[in-house]
């Protein structure tokens, strides 16, 4: 990978300066956790949610198991993109609900920060949620015959996205040019591999075992250790394994070391650091909200959650995902589709 893709500076980009300044104000991991809470808090306040409820919601969003697992793995850019995602949605909501100046500020700001985060896959998946929301609001505006308001919202959103994305335009252009020379570009080799996309990743690679999230694993949303937990799990000194080993005369240090590094996971993935668990209470309140909340936003969150789950299933839902991979623009540029569950978590917490 060329050095300009890793350390290239963009001194004239206000989103780069602002993002780097904010992230640099606090040490890692405090900076990304604060960013996660701040982004979601802004979204909740735009929806006129009580401050305390907004605060606890932001905590629930920030401290998801998926976010902490990515943090442990060092995927900082991914978490930053996840952190700024709620702010983009907040801007869209403000614009379509008539709070134009607030919407302009939020959409432009957080779209710029989203691109600054430098994780195109999360940004790409975010647009599924934004797209469903735009369709929903378009339906409401057409139903009320408010065509002028709809066109005004379209224009504002388009301009704000253009400005926000444009603040890192050079980076995106470099990425686009470089992509053509990578495995995500068009292949000049033809070996008869029917699973090879003409312009994108190999299907078997994109939906490989290490990137699979089976339908059965969906139950980890209810019970995080349904399939054992981590591939390198820690049972600790209170476990029966540790007690049995010590009882058999093995010294405590060896027993503790053994019981702290066990392959507890028995699902289909090649390796996992843990389950994608949002919390049983969050899932319960999300389902409850579908029946008691009057805001039509719940339908957007439900539809998006279903699509996100379908995408996360990858090859375990091959009919849908192979179609998307072959025909939906840029879908075949990405692998490890289960990371979309981080945005599913956004939908669940917001709905709850």
List pLDDT tens digits, range 243-261.
788 877 787 778 788 887 7
Is the residue at 209 inside a domain? no
Q: Are residues 176 and 244 in the same domain?
A: no
Does a structural domain hold residue 202? no
Same domain (yes/no): 163, 280: yes
58 lies in the same domain as 156: yes
Task: Report if residue 288 sits inside a domain.
Answer: yes
Query: Are residues 206 and 40 in contact, defined by beta-carbon separation less than 8 angstroms?
Result: no
Q: Considering only CA atoms, give the Rg of the chain.
A: 22
34-38, 165-169, 180-184: range with lowest mean pLDDT? 180-184
Q: What is the pLDDT of residue 246?
A: 80
In a domain, 138, yes or no: yes
Tokens of 170: 């050079």
pTM, two decimal places:
0.85
Cα 324 to Cα 304: distance, rounded to the nearest angstrom? 15
Alpha-carbon distance of 124 to 321, in angstroms, equals 15
For residues 160 and 252, membership in a common domain is answered with: no
Q: Same structural domain for residues 161 and 242?
A: no
pLDDT on residue 198: 58
Residue pair 78/31 in contact by the 8 Å Cβ criterion: no
Task: Give the residue with greater pLDDT, 196 vs 262.
Answer: 262
Task: Assess whether 254 and 346 both reside in one domain.
Answer: no
The reply to whether 102 and 158 lie within a common domain is yes
Angle subtended at Cα 234 by Cα 233 and Cα 236, rounded to the nearest 5 degrees: 160
pLDDT, tens only, 47-71: 998 999 999 999 988 888 887 888 8
Structural domain includes residue 188: no
Q: Is 153 found in the same domain as 281?
A: yes
- Does some domain include residue 97? yes
Same domain for 242 and 280, yes or no, is no
Q: Are the CB atoms for 306 and 348 separated by under 8 Å?
A: no
Domain that holds residue 257: 230-265
DSSP category for residue 179? H
Is the distance from CB of 46 to CB of 55 less than 8 angstroms? no
Residues 22 and 128 in one domain: yes
How far is it, in rounded angstroms, from Cα 206 to Cα 253?
A: 41
User: What's the pLDDT band for 77 if we cut at 50, 70, 90?
Assistant: confident
- φ, ψ dihedrals at 56, nearest 5°: -65, -35
Tell me: do 167 and 253 sit in the same domain. Answer: no
Contacts 24+ apart (CB under 8 A), 308-311: 308/125, 308/128, 308/340, 308/341, 308/343, 308/344, 308/347, 309/218, 309/341, 309/344, 311/125, 311/337, 311/340
Distance, in Å, from the CA atom of 136 to the CA atom of 92, rounded to the nearest integer, reads 12
Q: How many domains does the chain have?
A: 2
* In a domain? residue 166: yes
**Is residue 20 located within the same domain as residue 110?**
yes
Q: Examine residue 208 and state whether it is found in any structural domain, yes or no.
A: no
């Amino acid at each position: 990978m060329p050095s300009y893709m890793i350390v290239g500076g963009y001194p004239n980009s206000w989103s780069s300066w602002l993002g780097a300044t904010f992230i640099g104000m606090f040490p890692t991991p405090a900076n990304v956790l604060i960013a996660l809470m701040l982004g979601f808090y802004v979204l909740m306040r735009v929806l006129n949610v009580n401050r305390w409820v907004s605060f606890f919601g932001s905590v629930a969003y920030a401290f998801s198991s998926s976010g902490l697992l990515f943090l442990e793995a060092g995927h900082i850019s991914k978490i930053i993109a996840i952190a700024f995602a709620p702010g983009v949605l907040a801007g869209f909501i403000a614009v379509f609900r008539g709070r134009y100046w607030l919407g302009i500020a939020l959409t432009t700001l957080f779209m710029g920060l989203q691109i600054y985060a430098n994780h195109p896959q999360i940004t790409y998946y975010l647009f599924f949620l934004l797209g469903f929301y735009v369709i929903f609001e378009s339906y409401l505006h057409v139903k009320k015959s408010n065509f002028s308001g709809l066109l005004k919202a379209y224009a504002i959103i388009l301009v704000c996205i253009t400005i926000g994305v444009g603040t890192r335009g050079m980076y995106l252009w470099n990425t686009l040019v470089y992509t053509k020379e990578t495995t995500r570009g068009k292949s000049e080799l033809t070996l008869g591999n029917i699973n090879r996309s003409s312009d994108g990743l190999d299907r078997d690679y994109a939906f490989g075992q290490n990137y699979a999230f089976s339908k059965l694993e969906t139950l980890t949303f209810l019970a995080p250790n349904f399939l054992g937990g981590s591939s390198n799990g820690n049972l600790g000194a209170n476990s029966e394994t540790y007690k049995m080993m010590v009882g058999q005369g093995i010294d405590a240090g060896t027993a503790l070391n053994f019981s702290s590094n066990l392959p507890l996971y028995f699902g289909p993935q090649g390796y996992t650091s843990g389950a994608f668990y949002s919390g049983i209470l969050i899932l319960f309140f999300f389902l409850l909200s579908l029946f008691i909340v009057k805001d039509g936003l719940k339908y957007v969150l439900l539809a998006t959650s279903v699509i996100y789950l379908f995408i996360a299933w990858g090859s375990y839902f091959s009919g849908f995902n192979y179609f998307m991979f072959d025909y939906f623009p840029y879908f075949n540029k990405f692998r490890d589709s289960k990371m979309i569950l981080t945005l599913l978590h956004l939908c669940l917490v917001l709905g709850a």
